[in-house]
Amino acid sequence: MEYIKISTEYITLGQLLKEVGEIDTGGMAKWYLSEHEVYVNNELENRRGRKLYIGNVVQLANGQKYEIIS
Protein backbone atom coordinates (compact mmCIF):
# COMPACT_ATOMS: atom_id res chain seq x y z
CA MET A 1 0.00 0.00 0.00
CA GLU A 2 1.15 3.50 -0.82
CA TYR A 3 0.15 6.67 0.97
CA ILE A 4 -1.13 9.89 -0.55
CA LYS A 5 -0.57 12.89 1.71
CA ILE A 6 -3.07 15.73 1.41
CA SER A 7 -3.03 19.15 3.02
CA THR A 8 -6.69 19.93 2.31
CA GLU A 9 -9.87 18.42 3.76
CA TYR A 10 -10.28 16.09 0.76
CA ILE A 11 -9.24 15.37 -2.83
CA THR A 12 -11.38 13.94 -5.61
CA LEU A 13 -10.93 10.52 -7.12
CA GLY A 14 -9.97 12.17 -10.42
CA GLN A 15 -7.23 14.15 -8.67
CA LEU A 16 -5.89 10.98 -7.07
CA LEU A 17 -5.77 9.17 -10.41
CA LYS A 18 -3.78 12.05 -11.87
CA GLU A 19 -1.49 12.25 -8.81
CA VAL A 20 -0.53 8.56 -9.02
CA GLY A 21 0.03 8.71 -12.79
CA GLU A 22 -2.86 6.53 -13.96
CA ILE A 23 -4.15 9.37 -16.14
CA ASP A 24 -2.44 12.37 -17.70
CA THR A 25 -5.26 14.92 -17.55
CA GLY A 26 -8.34 15.41 -15.44
CA GLY A 27 -10.48 14.88 -18.53
CA MET A 28 -9.32 11.27 -18.78
CA ALA A 29 -10.82 10.38 -15.37
CA LYS A 30 -14.31 9.69 -16.72
CA TRP A 31 -12.93 7.37 -19.40
CA TYR A 32 -10.62 5.60 -16.94
CA LEU A 33 -13.44 4.92 -14.49
CA SER A 34 -15.67 3.57 -17.26
CA GLU A 35 -12.95 1.14 -18.43
CA HIS A 36 -11.39 0.07 -15.11
CA GLU A 37 -12.78 -1.09 -11.77
CA VAL A 38 -11.81 1.23 -8.94
CA TYR A 39 -12.82 0.59 -5.35
CA VAL A 40 -13.05 3.13 -2.54
CA ASN A 41 -13.23 1.48 0.88
CA ASN A 42 -14.05 -1.85 -0.85
CA GLU A 43 -17.02 -0.38 -2.76
CA LEU A 44 -17.01 -0.07 -6.55
CA GLU A 45 -16.80 3.61 -7.50
CA ASN A 46 -17.27 5.30 -10.88
CA ARG A 47 -17.65 8.98 -9.92
CA ARG A 48 -14.56 11.03 -10.70
CA GLY A 49 -15.76 13.71 -8.27
CA ARG A 50 -15.97 11.30 -5.33
CA LYS A 51 -14.45 13.08 -2.34
CA LEU A 52 -11.65 11.16 -0.67
CA TYR A 53 -10.98 11.97 2.96
CA ILE A 54 -8.18 11.01 5.34
CA GLY A 55 -8.39 7.29 6.05
CA ASN A 56 -10.05 6.35 2.73
CA VAL A 57 -8.44 3.49 0.82
CA VAL A 58 -8.55 3.35 -2.99
CA GLN A 59 -7.80 0.17 -4.92
CA LEU A 60 -7.13 0.36 -8.65
CA ALA A 61 -7.74 -2.34 -11.25
CA ASN A 62 -4.04 -3.28 -11.23
CA GLY A 63 -4.31 -4.14 -7.52
CA GLN A 64 -2.43 -1.09 -6.29
CA LYS A 65 -3.84 0.41 -3.07
CA TYR A 66 -3.55 3.99 -1.84
CA GLU A 67 -4.50 5.34 1.57
CA ILE A 68 -5.21 9.02 2.09
CA ILE A 69 -3.23 10.51 5.00
CA SER A 70 -2.65 14.01 6.38
Q: Where are the domains of the chain?
A: 2-69
Residue 9's pLDDT band, with cuts at 50, 70 and 90, is very high
Q: What is the mean pLDDT of residues 27-46?
A: 96
Report the alpha-carbon distance of residue 56 to residue 35 in Å, rounded: 22
CA pseudo-torsion sign 7, 11, 15, 21:
positive
Domain covering 2-69 assigned CATH 3.10.290.10 in the classification: yes
Predicted model pTM: 0.94
Q: What are the pLDDT digits (tens) for 39-67?
A: 999 999 999 999 999 999 999 999 999 99
Residue 37's pLDDT band, with cuts at 50, 70 and 90, is very high
Q: So what's the pLDDT on residue 26? A: 85
